[in-house]
Structure formats: C-alpha cells, structure tokens
Amino acid sequence: MRDVAVVGTGMTKFGELWGQSIRDIFVEAAQQAIADSGVDYIDSLYVGSMSPGLFVNQEHLGAVMADYLGVNPIPATRVESACASGGVAFRQAFLEVASGASDIVLAGGVEKMTDGADVTDVLAAAADQEYEVYHGITFPGLYAMIAKAHMHQYGTTREQLAAVAVKNHRNGVKNPNAQFRSEVSLAQVMSSTMVADPLRLLDCSPVSDGAAAVIVASLDVARKLNKNFVKVVASAQASDTIALHGRESITTFKAVVEASKKAYKIANLRPADINLVEVHDCFTIAEIVVSEDLGFFEKGKGGEAAKQGLTAIEGGRIPINTSGGLKAKGHPVGATGIAQIIELYEQLTSQAGPRQVKNVRRGMAQNMGGSGASCVIHILEAQ
Amino acid sequence: MRDVAVVGTGMTKFGELWGQSIRDIFVEAAQQAIADSGVDYIDSLYVGSMSPGLFVNQEHLGAVMADYLGVNPIPATRVESACASGGVAFRQAFLEVASGASDIVLAGGVEKMTDGADVTDVLAAAADQEYEVYHGITFPGLYAMIAKAHMHQYGTTREQLAAVAVKNHRNGVKNPNAQFRSEVSLAQVMSSTMVADPLRLLDCSPVSDGAAAVIVASLDVARKLNKNFVKVVASAQASDTIALHGRESITTFKAVVEASKKAYKIANLRPADINLVEVHDCFTIAEIVVSEDLGFFEKGKGGEAAKQGLTAIEGGRIPINTSGGLKAKGHPVGATGIAQIIELYEQLTSQAGPRQVKNVRRGMAQNMGGSGASCVIHILEAQ
C-alpha cells in the first residue's frame, strides 16, 4: 500500500442553511477543498451521507455531486454508515489512493437535515428498525440508557456529563464554522429541557445542515504540491451489533475498542503518542465512553477527566474536540467524519487560530454510526 | 495493485419474497457465497443498496448485515449509486483487495422493494430531484424519451424493442433464480399495457426483492482454495449529468462509453475479445443503447442486432443477458450489479447449465444508475 496524505480542505458553516440546497453546500465545500489543495484535477470522489433519500428525496448523490461540481465523467460514489458516513468516505478515498488506482481523490460528506423531514424519525433508521425502532426507541433514548448504565456502573455524575457540553461550547466559540458560538454553564446544561433522562437538551448534538470535503493524495503528489500536508498513518474500521440488546455491555463501544486497537497497531503507536482527538460526541455520554474506549482514560474515569479539565485545549492532557465537537460545531450527519479530519489538518498544520493546541504532531479522528454499531478511526501525522 | 479474483457466489431467488426481511435475504445470499467459496473468514464486507431508508426505513445496512451474518467486528460499509449500487460494492471490494489492505472481502447487494413503499416514487430519488422529479417525471418516462429519440434518430422500431424482452424472457426460463420463468412473444410485448409511450409493461424490468453476494479474494488466496475462480481483469466507473436535459445527446450514455473505454484500456482488450455480456436492461431500450455504447454494434444498429438474434445464447455473435437480464431475472436494485457478476462467474466456470454459452473466456458486466448518470463496468476472465 502506498503512503497517503491530506493536502487540502473545505467546509461550509454548519447550521440551518435554509438558503442553500444539499448540492449547493456540497459543491461549496468541494470547491474550497480543491482550491485549497492546489490540485488541478481529481481522479474520483466519494460522498458520505446518511440519508439524503429520507431527508430530501435524493439518492444517487455521487452522480449528483460530480455533475454539479463539474467533474464528469470521473467515478463518484456515495458511501453510508449512518453517522460514520463521512469517516467511511475518507477511508474509501484512502484505500483507493493506497491501492494505486488513483492519485488524487476527493472525500466529502454532506447532510441537509432542516428541510422539513421528521429528523428523529430519519435518524432512527440508523438503529435496528425491526427490534429497536419498531418498539418506539429514539437515539436520545438509546444514549440515555448508555448514560444510566455508565452512571450506575462507574458513578459517573450528571455534572460530569454537563462538563463535556461546557468544554465543547467553549471550543466552539473559537471555531468560525461552528453552529453554536456561545458558551454554556454547568448550571445551564443541568437545567436545560429534559430529552431522555438523564440526557437534557444541552447534552445533545443539534440538527444541522453542512458539508465538508478534503483532498486525499499519494505522498508523491502531496510533496509536489509544495504546501502543508498531513500523512494518514492509520485507517481502521470495525462493527458491533446494530441493537444495544445484543451487547455484553452497553458501557463500552466494542467497535471503538476494536477499531482503535487496529489503528494503534497499524501506526505502531499507543494512546500516549496521540496529541489531540476528535471524538463522536453525538451526546455528552458518548464522548465520555469513547475517551475511555480509545485508551485515553481508565474505564469509568472519562467523566471525571472531563470535569477535571483533562480534555480541554488549555492545560488538558489530551485535548478532545477542539473544534467544538458535534455538540457545538454541529452534526450534519454525513459531514461530521470529514469535519473531524479537517480539524486535525488545521491543528497539525498550525492553522487552528485561537483553538490551536501547542506542539501537536499526531491527531486521531473517531467517527461512529448509530449507537456504536460502526466506528471508523484515522490517525494523522504532521510532516 | 494486486491481482483479484472472484472465488464464490450466492444469491436468493429474485421476486416477491414476502416471507423474508431485507436482512434475511442478504444473510441467505452471503452465507451461500461464503460456503461456496470455502473461505473460513472474511476481512470486511460491502453492501450495495439503493434506498433501504425509503423502502424499509433501515439505513446503516453495513452494520445490520455484519451483525446478522455473525461477522462482527469486521468493517462493513454500504455503498450506493442508485441502480449501480451492486456494481459499485463489487468495485470497492476489488479496490480493497487490490490495495493489499484485505485478502478476502464479501461484496453483496440487496433491495427489498415489495414491502409497501411507493416504488416509482422511491426510484425517482435516483433522478434529479430538483429539476426532473419535481416536475413529475418518472423512470419509465425518462427511458421513454430516450427510446423516442433513438427511434427518431436511428429508425429503431417498436418490434426491435420487443425483441429484447422476448430474448431475455427466453433466457430467464433457464435461470432457476429468475423472477419470470415464462416466455413472451413479440405480439405479447407489443400489445402489453402502455406505461410511457413507446414503452409498454413488458419493456420494463419488474419490482423485485432479492440479494446476491460474491467473495472477492487476492489471486494468491484464490489459488490456495483449490476450486474454480475467475480473475477480475478490469474495473472501471464513470459519471454523467444526473438529468437528461444536461446531455448533448440522449441516444448514448456517455458514462457507459467512458467506463467501457477505460475498462478495455485497463484489460488491453477490444469488444471483439469479450464473449458474453450482462447489461443493465432496466428497460428494453437501455439494452439496445448500451450494446452500442459498449462497442458491440455500430451506433444505431443495436435494435436490429437484437431482432436478428445476434445477442441470443444460441447462434448469437455476442450473447447479452444470458441470465435473463433485469427484465426476466428481476431487478432488486442494489442486488443487480452483483447478480451480473454471478452470471459471468457461472458462465466462465461452465456452471450455467442450460444457459451455458460455449467456449467463453471473457465476460463483461455493465451496471448503470438512474438514467445513466453512473456506470460501473467489470471484465472477468476464466482461469
């Protein structure tokens, strides 16, 4: 396999983008990424998107986007793995370049969630339709069960959950593309509207429109572009049971554990070698569980770590979600995995402005589908 | 890139499978493929499916299928390119093995279309939602415009269209997995219910449930399995404008022309080197146009060729759709591209029974999305 790099990025602001269609926002992000990288062609493109069919009645998104980006007749493929669709798009681009089949591939992600569909209903299609959704469960409900179990088993507190939201909102203020650029206090999170006990409104990532794109190229091409690039030192993916009831434990995400083990092995690294990480904080409890499953904190200590500031940009041991995370940056489902890569790219090339973490060499992106039935992890390294 | 082979296959019967769910039929096909190949593990899996969200409210199909197939925690990804989703799944499996990232990958496709959704409405999501579907066009309407233009430009006749259906039904009789195993006459096709002038009911592929799966492996693994295998000598994909109105001509599919040119170049072959081909005959006119665009007949002569029997199993110059094609075998959208590969595998390993074409060494599969906005082509070779 050939070495692969990320050579350019582009993204829309995340939020309620009512003036633009799904194709508009994807093309905006893709054009930015192409311009930023300085490439004068792309060999193919991947679009990660969870449910454009249910959201805006448009499938066949690869072809739509290749057309409106003006890059016909190149191959264009949509990939889907629920909320991990963006991460999976990046992985397919990585594999295509690593194989030698292509030199320069665009990996993008997009979701248009605010155009009128019943969002909770559409998102439920990422859970087990026959054994979970049919009986009325929603995603906040699934993660609430995980939170309850984690609190019961490890003593995680309501305040520790809130600390995740407070920290991610603080980071989001510094991200010009974030949906929410306002701080929230512990008290505000803990008194916000109850959604699914113990999760409150400010524990939940929002409903968002948005698109993100990166240019993936062989290391040879990257070197010739004469600009900043980062190397992809690991790509790993894993799966778990689609429904929570099929798991031995719901206080750990097995797919996250398996994918991270594989990623560390491929890159020959340990958790201590990673300087910052973007994790899939669709709910505050998810960030806590994942921070443990990736090996950054002992099992059951993720909540405490968040509360103690160990995951903050300033003074943190391992800054988590410097971008603001899904919580504050927004979570246009298919775009999220690509936006994580973009945050790592900006940090590792020292372009993160007020969010910049000092002395960073390696970053990890952890993108997850459903209640953790799929997980894709990438490790990027500054050059 | 490493050499890649197909080492085993499995598929359900295509048709109205009301007693089984989408996961049931996928698992049935995948288990068959695993057993047939003799492999004792798979490294990852791809599922091609166009719209499980709109059809049965289930996205995240990679994770669902990995779970129910019992292969967690391997990576599992859904890919989508409308009716070319199966072909694209096969291509992603090919790239993953070719890259060296995996040795053995399952590529499957599935669609459950008869569970109650408005099928015409769901399929329309493969067209341009904003500029075509919004104004009321359906897929039979799009292909009817292509047919009218082809008749006008090249003198293609109503009888020539019917000849495609007659031939494909004749082949379907010999395929135990085909949805329709009954012959139809020219007169029956030409007097069947009008759907979209000039296309009648028997010009249209049916609404189907079905799943298909193949095992893709490195040539090294294939040789050790000590059974029949076929080599993948070309994988190529291309895109075109999503909407018909964006094209210079609607009597040719540019994505088919581009993908086939690339495939011939990769394999260093010409049309005359191909012994049989499975094409995407979603409507009879599609088979005629594609048979020309692939270079088997002069532009405008595809209808005449079908009528003259040049595409028949017996006495044909280039047998097309020996499986019965989408018309008679059925068209569970996401499964179609994989079922095409299965037909080639059976023919090239001399296991096609009464459908067997004599002395075949190379076969081509041409899978297409929407009204031709995406096309993926594979060439397989007997070993």
User: Which chain A residues touch B246 with a CB distance below 8 Å?
Assistant: 67
Residue of B nearest to A70 (CA): B241
Residue B240 backbone phi and psi in degrees, to 5: -140, 175
Q: What pLDDT was estimated at residue B226?
A: 83
Q: Are residues A20 and A137 both part of a single domain?
A: no
User: Which chain A residues touch B66 with a CB distance below 8 Å?
Assistant: 239
User: Which chain A residues touch B254 with a CB distance below 8 Å?
Assistant: 72-73
Amino acid at B296: F
Q: Are residues A366 and A258 both part of a single domain?
A: yes
Q: Are residues B238 and B365 both part of a single domain?
A: yes
Q: Are residues B11 and B153 both part of a single domain?
A: no
Give B43-74 as a DSSP string. Answer: SEEEEE-S-HHHHHS---HHHHHHHHHT-TTS
CA B3 to chain centre: 23
User: With pLDDT > 70 as the criterion, what percentage of chain A qualifies?
Assistant: 100
Contact at CB, A75 and B373, closer than 8 angstroms = no
Q: What pLDDT was estimated at residue B108?
A: 98
Q: Are residues B125 and B105 both part of a single domain?
A: no
B117-B121-B127 Cα angle (round to 5): 135
Instruction: Report the alpha-carbon distance of residue A329 to residue A331 in Å, rounded.
Output: 7
Q: Any idea which residue has 């490890």 for tokens?
A: A154
Of A178, A190, A198, the C-alpha closest to A325 is A178
Question: Catalytic residue among A150, A280, A331, A378, which?
Answer: A331
- ipTM, two decimals: 0.97
For B370, the token pair is 């929407």
Task: Convert the pLDDT of each residue in A228-283 to its tens digit.
Answer: 999 999 999 999 999 999 999 999 999 999 999 999 999 999 999 999 999 999 99
Question: Catalytic residue among B150, B331, B375, B378, which?
Answer: B331
Task: Convert the pLDDT of each residue in A188-239 to its tens digit.
Answer: 999 999 999 999 999 999 999 999 999 999 999 999 998 899 999 999 999 9
Contact at CB, A54 and B54, closer than 8 angstroms = yes
Residue of A nearest to B235 (CA): A101
Residues 6+ apart with CB under 8 A from A352: A322, A343, A346
Pairs across A and B, CB distance < 8 A:
224
**What is the length of chain B?**
383
Q: Nearest CA to CA, how far is A334 from chain B (Å)?
A: 12
Q: Are residues A187 and A216 both part of a single domain?
A: no
Contact at CB, A51 and B56, closer than 8 angstroms = no
Centre a 10 Å sphere on the Cβ of residue B261 and count the other Cβ atoms it contains.
Answer: 17
Amino acid at A321: N
For A220, the token pair is 């040879």
User: Which chain B residues touch A59 with a CB distance below 8 Å?
Assistant: 50-51, 54, 80, 82, 125-126
Q: What pLDDT was estimated at residue B233?
A: 98
User: Which chain A residues touch B242 with a CB distance below 8 Å?
Assistant: 60, 63-64, 67-68
pLDDT tens track of chain B, all 383 residues?
A: 999 999 999 999 999 999 999 999 999 999 999 999 999 999 999 999 999 999 999 999 999 999 999 999 999 999 999 999 999 999 999 999 999 999 999 999 999 999 989 999 999 999 999 999 999 999 999 999 999 999 999 999 999 999 999 999 999 999 999 999 999 999 999 999 999 999 999 999 999 999 999 999 999 999 999 889 999 999 999 999 999 999 999 999 999 999 999 999 999 999 999 999 999 999 999 999 999 999 999 999 999 999 999 999 999 999 999 999 999 999 999 999 999 999 999 999 999 999 999 999 999 999 999 999 999 999 999 99
Element (H, E) at A356: none
Q: Are residues B199 and B298 both part of a single domain?
A: yes
By Cβ distance, the residue of B53, B126, B373 closest to A125 is: B53
Domain end: B224, B257, B281, which one? Answer: B224
Q: Are residues A11 and A139 both part of a single domain?
A: no
Give yes or no for residue A27 having a pLDDT over 90.
yes
Q: Are residues A83 and A140 both part of a single domain?
A: no
Q: Which of B77, B118, B120 to mutate to test the interface with A (most CBs of A within 10 A)?
A: B77
Q: Are residues B107 and B123 both part of a single domain?
A: no
Contact at CB, B74 and A238, closer than 8 angstroms = yes
For A257, the token pair is 């554990």
Q: Are residues A304 and A326 both part of a single domain?
A: yes
Task: Convert the pLDDT of each residue in A156-198 to its tens digit.
Answer: 999 999 999 999 999 999 999 999 999 999 999 999 999 999 9
Longest CA pairwise span in chain B (Å): 56
Instruction: Report the alpha-carbon distance of residue B95 to residue A1 in Å, rounded.
Output: 11
For A85, the token pair is 């669709």
Q: Are residues A212 and A348 both part of a single domain?
A: no
Q: What pLDDT was estimated at residue B223?
A: 96
Question: Catalytic residue among B83, B204, B282, B375, which?
Answer: B83
Question: Catalytic residue among A83, A204, A282, A375, which?
Answer: A83
User: Which chain A residues touch B259 with a CB distance below 8 Å?
Assistant: 73
| Termini Cα distance of chain A | 19
Contact at CB, B59 and A82, closer than 8 angstroms = yes
pTM beyond 0.95: yes
Q: Is residue B174 within 8 Å of B323, Cβ to Cβ?
A: no
CA B322 to chain centre: 12
By Cβ distance, the residue of A1, A59, A239 closest to B50 is: A59
User: Which chain A residues touch B91 with a CB distance below 8 Å?
Assistant: 77
Contact at CB, B60 and A80, closer than 8 angstroms = yes
Task: Convert the pLDDT of each residue in A94-107 to its tens digit.
Answer: 999 999 999 999 99
Q: Nearest CA to CA, how far is A320 from chain B (Å)?
A: 25
Instruction: Report the alpha-carbon distance of residue A205 to residue B106 in Å, rounded.
Output: 34
Question: Which residues, in sequence order, are bridge partners of residue A77?
Answer: A46
Range of the domain at B271: 119-204+233-382
Active site residue A150: no
Instruction: Report the alpha-carbon distance of residue B54 to residue B52 in Å, rounded.
Output: 6
Three-state DSSP at A311 gives: coil
Domain count, chain A: 2
Task: Kindly report the CATH number assigned to the domain that includes residue A110.
Answer: 3.40.47.10
Active site residue B375: no
Domain end: B224, B252, B279, which one? Answer: B224
Q: Which of A110, A242, A371 to mutate to test the interface with B (most CBs of B within 10 A)?
A: A242
Q: Any idea which residue has 């499980």 for tokens?
A: B52
